[in-house]
């Protein structure tokens, strides 16, 4: 059996690489850079242990044959990552639209609405839940 065939048979049925793998790699690199600028030995050792844990988890997930569990972990990670990303996108849009629009939450369904900036109090109909509420812009 050739080496490439052995390698292929080893990787058959393994989970492989996904978004959480790349996130752990980023954590590893950030910890590595932090460790370069750390003069304290205790903090450096703690960062090294965290680095090794990140690498260990990366390889464990990559070579795992329990694909269902690894996929669930990745879905959980993606859900958290998406909510963090959406928060920053909303902040960016609020800054971009600050002259013409106001962002307000619907008190009924908590949907974020972009409302035109007008003086006074207005009645707004939420496009998601179709309920009306007062907004002072």
Q: What is the binding site for Zn ion (CB under 5 A)? A: 106, 108-109, 111, 126, 128-129
User: Based on CB atoms, which residue is closest to Zn ion, 14 or 108?
Assistant: 108
Looking at beta carbons only, is 17 or 109 nearer to Zn ion?
109
Judged by CB, which is closer to Zn ion: 33, or 111? 111
Q: Shortest Cβ distance from residue 81 to Zn ion (Å)? A: 26
Q: What angle do CA 89, 92, 94 make, to 5 degrees?
A: 110
Least distance (Å) between residue 114 CB and Zn ion: 13
In DSSP notation, 72-96 reads: HHHHHHHHHHHHHHHHHHHHHHHHH
Classify 16 in phi/psi space as left (phi over 0), alpha (psi -120 to 50) or beta. Answer: left
């Amino acid at each position: 059996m050739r080496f490439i065939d052995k390698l292929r048979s080893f990787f058959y049925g393994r989970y492989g690489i996904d978004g959480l793998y790349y996130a752990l790699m980023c954590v590893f690199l950030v910890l590595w850079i932090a460790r370069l600028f750390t003069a304290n030995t205790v903090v450096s050792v703690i960062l090294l242990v965290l680095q090794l844990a990140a690498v260990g988890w990366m390889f464990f997930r990559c070579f795992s044959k329990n694909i269902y569990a690894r996929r669930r972990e990745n879905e959980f990670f993606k859900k958290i990552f998406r909510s963090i990303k959406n928060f920053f996108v909303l902040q960016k849009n609020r800054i971009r639209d600050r002259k013409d629009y106001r962002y307000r939450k619907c008190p009924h369904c908590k949907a974020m609405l972009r409302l035109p900036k007008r003086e006074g109090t207005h009645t707004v109909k939420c496009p998601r839940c179709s309920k009306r509420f007062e907004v002072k812009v």
